[in-house]
């Protein structure tokens, strides 16, 4: 009886003990299975010391693979003082290689910390790094790092932007595509005990992955040509600024873009925020002036409110609208002209008449359809919107001024994009500078930017007529300074008075030119604007057209644009150098050849009588100043 009572209690105690042990097992199960991942991650960090190996940022290259921004490898020396056995010897050897004081090194090596950096970044050459690596000391680590390098500096700083001290993109493409350009950091991991000594467990090394390569639509040679021309414009005219864009009108690919003032991306801290943040070709808004007439022209042709060749207009030099007198740029006016001549002469009253025929709603509808008043959507940050009148706020005066490009405000990129649409068959495309994102390890394309057509604004035929009219502007009108012999060039000048605080500034203009070639099937369109040039006639035709011409000359070489026959002949004025077709004299004797080339200067080479070779080649337009070399046998 009595034993039974004890036994019951013993069994009760056994039960309690079993429950306790089950609790223990349950808790261990919880720790080892449920919390396994959490605790494993914590302990992995606890047991290992990590050194991050920064991944090099992806390269930025032009359309031909020329490197525009890259990462240069640098090396950093780390020491883990706890792991260094013979601190004196290690300090001595390192000091010898670095050619610095023993004490300088020893102070790091003897420090009571988990990790010290002896040398960081650029000042360590690869030979030095190799030497240190060969010493093979425990606790001395070399970590490869990278630094951004911009071989073309200022020429591309507004497009490419720059990075901060941690290689993070701060502006331009470096910022907008930061996610792609940033690589995946690698790490060197070694295991250590609780006292910081290295354990005999193999180090793990995860190689860094370089960031993606950004391939741009830009062409380095075009960039350099543009930059060169803009620098000249700044020097020659002491201008406040200069802007140029070159674009493929069919696709919207930007071939070159440049502006002054510019900044050096490596030392961006030395420049004002305004210079850095304002990418003028896409940010700056100003009155376009006469280049905008292309839009009015295209709209009128599309709406058939004008017949360029048969309708005529008489310009008295001014037109009075609602009591306001609007003057033509030419004092006294252009007299009676066809509308083609109105375009060639850039006659303001003529365009007022075109605007009136369209009316507010139609004109403004086309202007908006051509992309004005809203961002083009170019893949660069900091784009401006521009300012247009609201239709309901437009009276006859506003309609008149808008028709010839005054009283509205647009960006250069809007202008070149709109004019591209006017001449490419009517298609408004989104301009872009990044053509593709490429994974450098597999060379596979991660993302490809393709032509995006927003809408067709005008018909193919209208576009062809616009091209013809603009070719005529260059051959016979205000754009003559952009004429290139043997090529078909179209274009339009622009002269716009700058506005400050709602008032026009006196003698302060932005002179612009939009040109394209070949005029019948444009491969490139170039926009140039010079802000407040000094000491020169204030017309776009005199300042900007020659700059655009030079850029187009470069484009001919770079893009290998062939010569074209069938273009309009230039109507010569007395100041122009005369160009003539060079006759073919190969095969003639010396006397006949000299006669045939009487308008040119001729140089002979060789002693024979028969011309076997001539340079430049025949049947091309050549300036009468050109020396023709004839090789005689």
Q: Are 389 and 395 in contact (CB under 8 A)?
A: no
CA 117, CA 105: separation in Å to the nearest integer? 10
Q: Are 584 and 619 in contact (CB under 8 A)?
A: yes
DSSP state of 298: H
Binding mask 461-480 for other proteins (x = CB under 8 A): --------------------
| Shortest Å distance, C-beta 85 to other proteins | 16
Q: Is 33 in the site for other proteins (CB under 8 A)?
A: yes
| Shortest Å distance, C-beta 31 to other proteins | 5
Among residues 134, 195, 304, 390, the one that binds other proteins under rule CB under 8 A = 195
Q: Are 90 and 140 in contact (CB under 8 A)?
A: yes
Distances (CA, A) of 291 to 339, 462, 511, 515, 543: 16, 18, 10, 10, 14
| Shortest Å distance, C-beta 47 to other proteins | 5
Q: Is 29 in the site for other proteins (CB under 8 A)?
A: yes
| Shortest Å distance, C-beta 83 to other proteins | 14
Q: Is 573 in the site for other proteins (CB under 8 A)?
A: no
Q: Is 5 in the site for other proteins (CB under 8 A)?
A: yes
With vertex at residue 192, the alpha carbon angle to CA 188 and CA 196, rounded to the nearest 5 degrees, is 110
Stretch that binds other proteins, among 35-43, 68-76, 229-237, 547-555 (CB under 8 A): 35-43
| Shortest Å distance, C-beta 200 to other proteins | 11
Among residues 13, 72, 122, 612, the one that binds other proteins under rule CB under 8 A = 13
Q: Is 595 in the site for other proteins (CB under 8 A)?
A: no
Residue 198 in 3-state DSSP? strand
Q: Is 73 in the site for other proteins (CB under 8 A)?
A: no
Q: Is 85 in the site for other proteins (CB under 8 A)?
A: no
Stretch that binds other proteins, among 8-16, 130-138, 445-453, 488-496 (CB under 8 A): 8-16
Q: Are 489 and 471 in contact (CB under 8 A)?
A: yes
Q: Which is nearer to other proteins, 23 or 73 (CB)?
A: 23
Q: Is 138 in the site for other proteins (CB under 8 A)?
A: no
Q: Which of 71, 157, 239, 290 is catalytic?
A: 290
Bridge partner residues of 387 (DSSP): 409
Give the residue among 243, 249, 226, 245 at the shortest CA–CA distance from 467: 249
Q: Which is nearer to other proteins, 38 or 450 (CB)?
A: 38
Stretch that binds other proteins, among 17-25, 281-289, 499-507, 550-558 (CB under 8 A): 17-25
Residue 219 in 3-state DSSP? coil
Residue 216 in 3-state DSSP? strand
Q: Which is nearer to other proteins, 10 or 624 (CB)?
A: 10
CA 68, CA 224: separation in Å to the nearest integer? 12
Q: Is 304 in the site for other proteins (CB under 8 A)?
A: no
Q: Is 2 in the site for other proteins (CB under 8 A)?
A: yes
Among residues 52, 128, 178, 191, the one that binds other proteins under rule CB under 8 A = 191
Q: Are 444 and 438 in contact (CB under 8 A)?
A: yes
Stretch that binds other proteins, among 13-21, 224-232, 310-318, 337-345 (CB under 8 A): 13-21
Q: Are 564 and 592 in contact (CB under 8 A)?
A: no
Q: Are 105 and 118 in contact (CB under 8 A)?
A: yes
Q: Is 28 in the site for other proteins (CB under 8 A)?
A: yes
Sign of CA dihedral 512, 505, 508, 335: positive
Q: Is 204 in the site for other proteins (CB under 8 A)?
A: no
In the annotation, is 544 catalytic?
no
Residue 375 in 3-state DSSP? coil
| Shortest Å distance, C-beta 54 to other proteins | 28
CA 529, CA 230: separation in Å to the nearest integer? 9
Q: Is 114 in the site for other proteins (CB under 8 A)?
A: no
DSSP-derived pairing of the beta strands 60-61 and 213-216: parallel
Stretch that binds other proteins, among 11-19, 73-81, 153-161, 330-338 (CB under 8 A): 11-19
Q: Is 17 in the site for other proteins (CB under 8 A)?
A: yes
Q: Is 106 in the site for other proteins (CB under 8 A)?
A: no
* Block residue for tokens 């006017």: 422
What is the DSSP annotation of 16-68? Answer: HHHHHHHHHHHHHHIIIIISHHHHHHHHHHHHEEEEEEPPPPPPEE-TT--EE
Q: Is 10 in the site for other proteins (CB under 8 A)?
A: yes
Q: Which is nearer to other proteins, 42 or 387 (CB)?
A: 42
Structure tokens at 143: 């970590």
Among residues 136, 194, 502, 535, the one that binds other proteins under rule CB under 8 A = 194
Q: List the 627-632 sheet strands across, edge first.
A: 601-605, 627-632, 611-615
Distances (CA, A) of 431 to 183, 250, 428, 619: 27, 10, 9, 38
Which residues contribute to the site for other proteins (CB under 8 A)?
A: 2-3, 5-7, 9-10, 13-14, 17-18, 20-21, 23-25, 27-29, 31-33, 35-36, 38-40, 42-43, 46-47, 191, 193-195, 199
Q: Catalytic residues, which ones?
A: 290
């Amino acid at each position: 009886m009595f034993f039974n009572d004890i036994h019951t209690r013993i069994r009760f105690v056994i039960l309690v003990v079993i429950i306790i042990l089950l609790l223990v097992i349950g808790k261990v199960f919880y720790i080892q299975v449920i919390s396994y991942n959490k605790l494993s991650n914590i302990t992995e960090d606890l047991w290992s010391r990590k050194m991050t190996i920064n991944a090099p940022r992806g390269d930025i290259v032009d359309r031909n693979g020329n490197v525009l921004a890259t990462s240069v490898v640098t090396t950093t020396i780390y020491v883990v003082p706890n792991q260094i056995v013979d601190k004196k010897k290690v300090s001595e050897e390192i000091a010898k290689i670095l050619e610095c004081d023993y004490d300088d090194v020893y102070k790091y090596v003897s420090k009571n910390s988990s990790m010290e950096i002896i040398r960081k970044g650029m000042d360590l050459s690869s030979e030095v790094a190799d030497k240190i690596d060969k010493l093979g000391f425990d606790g001395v680590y070399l970590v490869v790092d990278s630094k951004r390098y911009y071989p073309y500096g200022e020429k591309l700083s507004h497009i490419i932007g720059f990075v901060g001290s941690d290689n993070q993109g701060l502006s331009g493409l470096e910022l907008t595509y930061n996610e792609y350009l940033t690589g995946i950091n690698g790490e060197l991991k070694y295991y250590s005990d609780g006292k910081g000594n290295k354990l005999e467990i193999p180090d793990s090394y995860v190689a860094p992955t370089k960031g993606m390569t950004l391939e741009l639509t830009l062409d380095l040679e075009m960039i350099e040509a543009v930059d060169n021309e803009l620098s000249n414009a700044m020097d020659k005219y002491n201008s406040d600024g200069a802007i140029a864009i070159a674009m493929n009108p069919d696709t919207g690919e930007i071939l070159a873009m440049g502006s002054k003032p510019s900044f050096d991306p490596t030392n961006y801290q030395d420049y004002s925020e305004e210079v850095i943040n304002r990418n003028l070709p896409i940010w700056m808004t100003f009155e376009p002036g006469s280049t905008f007439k292309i839009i009015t022209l295209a709209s009128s042709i599309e709406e058939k409110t004008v017949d360029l060749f048969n309708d005529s207009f008489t310009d008295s030099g001014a037109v009075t609208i609602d009591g306001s007198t609007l003057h033509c740029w030419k004092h006294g006016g252009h007299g009676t002209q066809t509308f083609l001549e109105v375009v060639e002469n850039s006659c303001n009253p003529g365009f007022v008449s075109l605007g009136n025929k369209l009316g507010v709603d139609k004109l403004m509808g086309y202007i908006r359809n051509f992309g004005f008043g809203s961002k083009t959507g170019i893949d660069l940050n900091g784009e401006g919107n521009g300012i247009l009148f609201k239709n309901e706020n437009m009276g006859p005066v506003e309609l008149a001024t808008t028709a010839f490009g005054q009283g509205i405000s647009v960006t250069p990129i809007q202008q070149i994009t709109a004019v591209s649409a006017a001449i490419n068959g009517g298609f408004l495309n989104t301009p872009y500078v990044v053509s593709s994102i490429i994974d450098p390890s597999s060379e596979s394309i991660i993302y490809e930017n393709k032509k995006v057509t927003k809408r067709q604004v005008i018909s193919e035929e209208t576009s062809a007529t616009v091209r013809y009219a603009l070719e005529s502007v260059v051959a016979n009108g205000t754009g003559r300074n952009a004429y290139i012999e043997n090529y078909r060039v179209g274009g339009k000048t622009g002269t716009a008075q700058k506005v400050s605080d709602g008032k026009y500034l006196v003698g302060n203009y932005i002179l612009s030119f939009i040109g394209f070639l070949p005029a019948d099937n444009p491969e490139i369109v170039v926009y140039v604007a010079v802000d407040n040039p000094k000491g020169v006639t204030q017309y776009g035709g005199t300042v900007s057209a020659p700059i655009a011409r030079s850029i187009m000359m470069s484009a001919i070489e770079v893009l290998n644009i062939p010569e074209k026959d069938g273009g309009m002949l230039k109507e010569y004025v007395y100041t122009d150098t005369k160009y003539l077709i060079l006759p073919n004299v190969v095969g003639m004797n010396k006397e006949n050849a000299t006669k045939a080339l009487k308008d040119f200067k001729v140089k002979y080479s060789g002693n024979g009588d028969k011309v076997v070779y001539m340079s430049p080649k025949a049947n091309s337009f050549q300036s009468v100043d050109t020396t023709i070399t004839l090789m005689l046998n």
